[in-house]
Structure 1
Amino acid sequence: MNNQNTTRVQVSQVKRVITTLFNSYGISEKDSEVITNSFIEADLCGVNTHGVTVVPAHIEKLKVGGYNINPNIRKVREGISFAVVDGDGSFGALSAEYSMKLAKEEAKQKGTFSVFSYNNNTFGPAFYYSAMAAKEGLIGIVMCNTPPAMAPWNGNEKLLGTNPFSISIPVKKGFPITLDMATSQVAKSKINIALRDGKKIPIGWATDINGDPTTDPQKAVEGMVLPLGGYKGYGISMMVDILSGVLSGASFLNDVGSFYRNMENCMNVGFMFVVIDPKLIIGEVFYDLIKDYYNIIKSSSSVIKGDEILIPGDRKSNFKKQFSDTGIEINKETINKLNQYLLENNINMKLA
């Protein structure tokens, strides 16, 4: 059910409006569709922090020249089992899709292939790209670094990003088993949404600039998000930063550019994509084994009688089934901003 701050809109209408807007700012129709699909898939799967709500910010970055709208995304180095890709300052969704497609094609020939990419901007929902592999019966592993938001364990200086990663495992005739997570206690975008909506955040999400716990999203934005699982999340964040940032030749630690504070510049985010073709490693039996694996966990007993045992990706699958029919919920403030962009560009179209 919609709350008073949101409106439910059919996916086809949302897609038409956003692709038209991106196209009006000089992005090709094909690239506009690629970019738009990533936002819509996030909302369809219930990850609204990475969905249509962030489109206005991307348009603002476009308006100040923060994206290369005619990029030459290309391989600059290649080995037997890896490639390095220059994202050329494009939309992150474009360089990410290019990199994942390359990794998939090569993995089908070699069993496994890794692509490292630099000179990128944020790519949005990590699961979107790992699931691209799983839809073709492949295992997808995706990670990227992000602007600094966390301190090292026991530290009080923002050096590490929330550095998300995602792994998708194909399941016969079903939604992939998909792990999708930030290495922080919560994605920073959730704090930004709480700030936008005038809501407090739970204790344990972030600290203020002095390192003290806070429920104030403004103080949290100025301060630091906390790592998932304490020192363990801190360690995982470092590994993601090294593998996607240092190894790709992108920025790392606090050199990763801010999306909001330096909109006119490329963030130089680093990506890492690994694709594995299980058919070449263990054979077609893999898919039967995973189906059995899935069923064993789903049919296991729960602590609370009657409660469903969830597998990573189940919530996304359930949301997608629901929202594909009913439409996605969009914040009214976002709708107003998108309609204003349509008006500014003399586009005879309106959202919702």
Structure 2
Amino acid sequence: MTALSPGDAVARVAAIFVNAGCSADNAQSVARALVAAEADGLGGHGLSRIPTYLQMVRAGKIDGSAKPSATRPRPGVLAIDAAHGFAYPALDLAVAELPAIASEQGIATASIRRSSHCGETGLPCEALAIRGLVALLFANTPGAMAPWGGRQPVFGTNPIAFAAPLQGRDPVVVDLALSRVARGPIVAAKQRGEPIPQGWALDAQGNATTDPDKALAGSMIPLGDAKGAALALMVEVLAACLTGANLAFEASSFLDGEGPPPATGQLLLALDPSAFGHGQFGERIAALAAAIEQQPGARLPGARRLANRARAARDGIVIPPELEALGD
């Protein structure tokens, strides 16, 4: 196996997608996101996604040459059409445009439709927090989770992400799926031929399972049981109903080349702390961070991700042998 610097890994992964017929800009955007997720220790959203992304491109479920476009239906809203392409270029567009809108309006929203898998949802929020904004991202995903008490998936794992700036240091970042675990680790376990832990998923008959194939054909268990299912409904409204995207149970899988484009959605919010009638945001969040970190064993969300990122910068990103030849 080959270990590359993060920059070289991005170039290598981008070459794989260009070789599959994607535009150079889209290939770069996808590569940056996948390598960043790998570096952060989120392998389920990292390089393991390459084979299924390629299947989706070759089958036409993702248009590798799509260029996202945006309109401004209201002063604080950026409505983005991902055009059945990858989610990452649409999110890049949102991150580029939202700061100016938030500076003017105090709050800005990017609504993304006709989109696809958006990987590590904390990354666009972190990018906005680096620019001094508080950010929230809601994303719906193909059906994977039943309503509480049901068996038929209606919601996706529907991740939520959040980031806020901290003076003189990396932003605090929260990134979580509303199932007990994201689907990515189950996909990764399937690829490795390994079982999954008890408590992650149910099979199609509603029985607990450690078989990743049965889990993927069944239903994920929501985080916090009924509370997690209620939050998944909330995300479905924000990321699909508001954006005009497919509902989770209407969306095709992110995991293969079967069916039409998934056409899922994302909603990205950016808030300018200086717009809320006081100048104390930096002081207040610093006090909150200190109250957490002064306790032995406690840490801010995202600390492990930053440690993994530093390790990847030092030791490199490992490119599995089966992926090495794809960019040739």
Flag whether TM exceeds 0.5 (same fold): yes
Alignment CA distance shift 1:24-1:71 (3 Å): same
Whether contact under 8 Å (1:175, 1:313) holds in the other structure is: no
Post-superposition offset of 1:176: 1.2
Residue equivalent to 1:314 = 303
The whole-number CA distance in structure 2 between the counterparts of 1:115 and 1:14 is 29
Whether contact under 8 Å (2:26, 2:65) holds in the other structure is: no
Q: Secondary structure at the match of 2:209?
A: coil
What is the letter of the counterpart of residue 206 of structure 2? Answer: G
Residue equivalent to 1:80 = 75
Which one of the candidate residues 184, 192, 206 is aligned to 1:189? Answer: 184
The whole-number CA distance in structure 1 between the counterparts of 2:165 and 2:32 is 21
Q: What percentage of aligned pairs have identical amino acids?
A: 25
Structure 1 vs Structure 2 CA RMSD: 1.8
The whole-number CA distance in structure 2 between the counterparts of 1:321 and 1:260 is 30
Alignment CA distance shift 1:252-1:198 (3 Å): same
Equivalence map 1:99-118=2 (5 Å):
99-118=94-113
Q: Secondary structure at the match of 1:56?
A: helix
Q: What is the CA deviation profile of residues 159-206 of structure 1, one whole-angstrom value per residue up to 9, with x for unaligned ones? A: 110000100011112221111000001101111111221222111101
Post-superposition offset of 1:264: 6.0
What is the letter of the counterpart of residue 307 of structure 2? Answer: N
Runs of 4+ deviating beyond 4 Å? 261-264
What is the letter of the counterpart of residue 108 of structure 1? Answer: S
Post-superposition offset of 1:8: 4.0
Which one of the candidate residues 202, 218, 229 is aligned to 2:197? Answer: 202
Deviates more, 1:39-48 or 1:261-270: 261-270
Post-superposition offset of 1:105: 2.3
Deviates more, 1:161-170 or 1:309-318: 309-318
Residue equivalent to 1:289 = 284
Whether contact under 8 Å (2:3, 2:316) holds in the other structure is: yes
The whole-number CA distance in structure 1 between the counterparts of 2:209 and 2:253 is 23
Q: Secondary structure at the match of 2:252?
A: coil
Q: What is the CA deviation profile of residues 44-83 of structure 1, one whole-angstrom value per residue up to 9, with x for unaligned ones? A: 1111110111112212222222322332422245112223
Residue equivalent to 1:350 = none
Unpaired runs of 5+ in structure 2? none
Which one of the candidate residues 129, 136, 139 is aligned to 2:134? Answer: 139
Equivalence map 1:11-160=2 (5 Å):
11-76=6-71, 78-160=73-155
Q: Secondary structure at the match of 1:179?
A: strand
Whether contact under 8 Å (1:117, 1:270) holds in the other structure is: yes
The whole-number CA distance in structure 1 between the counterparts of 2:176 and 2:235 is 12
Q: What is the CA deviation profile of residues 80-102 of structure 1, one whole-angstrom value per residue up to 9, with x for unaligned ones? A: 22232211111111112112322
Post-superposition offset of 1:224: 1.0
Q: TM-score, normalised by structure 2?
A: 0.94
Deviates more, 1:76-85 or 1:137-146: 76-85
Whether contact under 8 Å (2:67, 2:89) holds in the other structure is: no
Alignment CA distance shift 1:283-1:52 (3 Å): farther
Q: Secondary structure at the match of 2:208?
A: coil
Whether contact under 8 Å (1:46, 1:319) holds in the other structure is: yes
Q: TM-score, normalised by structure 1?
A: 0.88
The whole-number CA distance in structure 1 between the counterparts of 2:294 and 2:46 is 33
Residue 237 in 1 paired to residue 222 in 2? no
What is the letter of the counterpart of residue 125 of structure 2? Answer: S
- How many residue pairs were aligned? 328
Which one of the candidate residues 341, 345, 349 is aligned to 2:326? Answer: 341
Which one of the candidate residues 294, 313, 323 is aligned to 1:324? Answer: 313
